[in-house]
Chains A and B, each alone.
Chain A
């Protein structure tokens, strides 16, 4: 029953600190501290410093501020307007209209960046003001963005898949291939939801886009050229071997600076504003990451996640039951830990269960990614919720509520994966490796 008391205590402290309004990163540190002080005999302060130093001084983390900076620069150029001018003639006739740009934008940017925070800030910085201008329902704008940004984790390159692949020794390129189709299907499901809502919802009264002839539509598409060039530059640098996934972010920054300069929107003010904005946004995320790293270490010391996974291992479950139990388990864990931590903390116990049940580990990687994606938008600790709060000034409860449909779509996605496992396994098995 030691586990039960740990859980109750963690929850009590967590909800007290978060609920009263202590800054998220500092609240996580406080919770982690309480957990360690009470349940281990380790020197808590020293452990805290070792962990936070190691989590903060990370080479792979450097891609995050770079992509955020890129978003800040693009936001200050004409690019976002141009992108909308180019896209709107094509998206406007679709049921759901320009809200689809959120999803399409995230899907495309997901192929550029490996993290969902970077996808979210870059796309959101550009789309939120434009969609608000056109009077789209706020909850749809926020919700679709929160949901679609998680595609950054599934569509390659993906930090989550790298961590998973390294943890269980599976081929990272196979995992990358496995993520493509499910990522596109998930995006299509989000778009279908938007289309349906636009027909059912009474609050759906966006401003109409001016009607255009086909020739005008094509002519307007020229505005998309700069964005396409930028995306090709970043993706190309990666796949042609000029840059690693981390380094590609630097191409993004330089590319957008050049773009801004060529549009005449780069001056000292916009440069320093974009830089200071990026500095503060990445500091905000870094503080939460530092707290999350310490909390995840504290959980590791208490042995709680592993104990729960052990408990599941003892039940005698069929393959389907096991997957459903794991789904529930990771959803609950994902409410309180960031997804990657919950995977790393439990994989030692879960991996043998999966192998024993005869479940394909590449397929399970995609299953895990969907579950990790859910963790990004479930309260009280959901990364995309935090980032969106920073961007929009909405309360977290509002954002979390707006994201619930996306959460349910992801749950549906898990069942689609269970029913049609080929959507994850076909591509990696049929791509001829060099």
Chain B
């Protein structure tokens, strides 16, 4: 029909986060591009649905569009975790290559779940945070490491650290009181949570670059006319480009912020890097076991480039 449609777009992260800013601009772009026929309202900070519920909410038409970190859904299908295999793609360029290799199979997988993939923006690369200096895997032994999923638990196991489960809401307090001494996360998380109040070292190991994905409900998508779909695709392309650029900018900004907060921000030593690459190879193999032929195809395509 000719009426303006209101699309609510749940976002898990706070309004000032660069993903949310990108999504808000995408929304404006669509509203403008469709002459107001589709009006997208973003709801940051999980104020509509918390992150964990967003995918299902889109799938079942509770909202038409939303953003989700798909690697959170690895239990459902290992393929969703392609962007979070440790030490597989360790730079923005590599992450982009990996994304190009995964785009087609992922789009297909989402399609089978009544989801249309619009665009995806990487988080800054994941580094290792420690209270004390670490130069090799041997130094990590016995350190209490914040784990939040199977991959981070496994990483702890392979490096001899003690995985401790800490929910996101309790991160800052857990470090302040010594419940945990270490975590793997992007510079952005550390900057946002001001972890320099408790932790002293950040190693840029660029372990992986997880991605956020913007998805549309399949039925809502089919309800659009061709010109509206074209506008969405156009705005999505723009948003992916702008978001990726912001992510790169933000990486430098947050690392400088960590240093200004008093943390030692350093590249990992060559010893450490080499040891972590080995662990990465082990974990890639384990992921491939879970992800099967689909995963193998992605890794092959990525390595072929």
Contact between A and B in the complex (any CB pair below 8 Å) = yes
A244 touching B47 by the CB < 8 A rule? no
Q: How far is the CA of A244 from the CA of B169 in the complex (A)?
A: 11
- Bound-state CA distance A99–B50 (Å) is 42
- Inter-chain contact B166/A244, CB cutoff 8 Å: yes
Q: B60 an interface residue at 8 Å Cβ cutoff?
A: yes
Contact of A301 among B8, B53, B60 (CB under 8 A): B8
Nearest CB in chain A: distance from B258 CB, A: 13
Task: Provide the residues of chain B in CB contact with A60, threshold 8 Å.
Answer: 167, 169
Inter-subunit contact B62/A50 (CB<8 Å): yes
Q: Known interface pairs A244-B166, A344-B47, A347-B45. Does A434 touch B198 (Cβ–Cβ under 8 Å)?
A: yes
- A44 to chain B minimum Cβ distance, whole angstroms, is 9
**CB <8 Å contact, A162 and B169:** yes
Interface residues of B in 152-184 (CB under 8 A from A): 166-170, 172-174, 176-179
Q: Mark A163-207, 1 if CB is under 8 A from B, else 0.
A: 101111111111000000000000000000000000000000000
Contacts of A54 in B (CB 8 A): 49-50, 52-53
Q: Which residue of A lies closest to B170 (CB)?
A: A244
Contact A344 B173, beta carbon cutoff 8 Å: no
Alpha-carbon distance A170/B191, docked complex (angstroms): 10
B25-54 near A? 1/0 per residue, CB < 8 Å: 000000000000000011111111110110
Q: Which residues of A contact B61 (CB under 8 A)?
A: 42-43, 46
Q: Which residue in chain A gives the minimum CB-CB distance to B20?
A: A348
Q: Is the CB of A173 within 8 A of B63?
A: no
Chain B CB within 8 A of A297 CB: yes
The answer for the CA separation of A162 and B169 in the assembled complex, in Å, is 7
Instruction: Determine chain A's interface SS by DSSP, over half rule.
Output: helix
The docked-state distance in angstroms from the alpha carbon of A234 to that of B252 is 41
Cβ distance B186 to chain A, nearest Cβ, rounded Å:
13
Contacting residues, chain B, for A172 (C-beta < 8 A): 172-173, 193
Near B by CB (< 8 A), chain A positions 407-434 give: 433-434
Is B192 on the interface with A (CB-CB < 8 A)?
yes
Q: Say whether B62 contacts A351, CB under 8 Å.
A: no
Q: Is B48 a contact partner of A171 (Cβ separation < 8 A)?
A: no
Residues of A within 8 Å of B108, CB to CB, are: none
A93 at the A/B interface (Cβ < 8 Å)?
Answer: no
CB within 8 Å for A244 and B16 given contacts A47-B62, A60-B169: no
In the complex with contacts A50-B62, A167-B45, A344-B47, A240-B194 CB distance below 8 A: no
Chain A residues with CB below 8 A from B60, complex form: 43, 46
Q: Chain A residues with Cβ under 8 A from B197's Cβ?
A: 171, 173-174, 433-434
A303 beta carbon closer than 8 Å to chain B: yes
Q: Which residues on A sit within 8 Å (CB–CB) of B14?
A: 166-169, 347
- Distance in angstroms between the alpha carbons of A434 and B170 in the assembled complex: 18
- Measured in the bound complex, the distance between the Cα atoms of B263 and A292 in whole Å is 42
B272 within 8 A of partner (CB): no
- In the complex, the chain A residue whose C-beta lies closest to that of B194 is A171
Q: Chain A residue with minimal CB distance to B10?
A: A300
* Docked-complex contact A174 and B63, CB < 8 angstroms: no
Q: Give the residues from 194 to 238 in chain B that come closer than 8 angstroms, CB to CB, to chain A.
A: 194, 196-198
Residues of B within 8 A of A (CB): 6, 8, 14-17, 41-50, 52-53, 56-57, 60-63, 166-170, 172-174, 176-179, 192-194, 196-198
User: Which A-B residue pairs are the 4 nearest by beta carbons?
Assistant: A241-B178, A348-B15, A171-B194, A172-B172
Known: A42-B8, A50-B53, A245-B173. 7 other contacts (CB 8 A): A50-B56, A51-B49, A171-B194, A240-B178, A300-B47, A300-B48, A434-B198
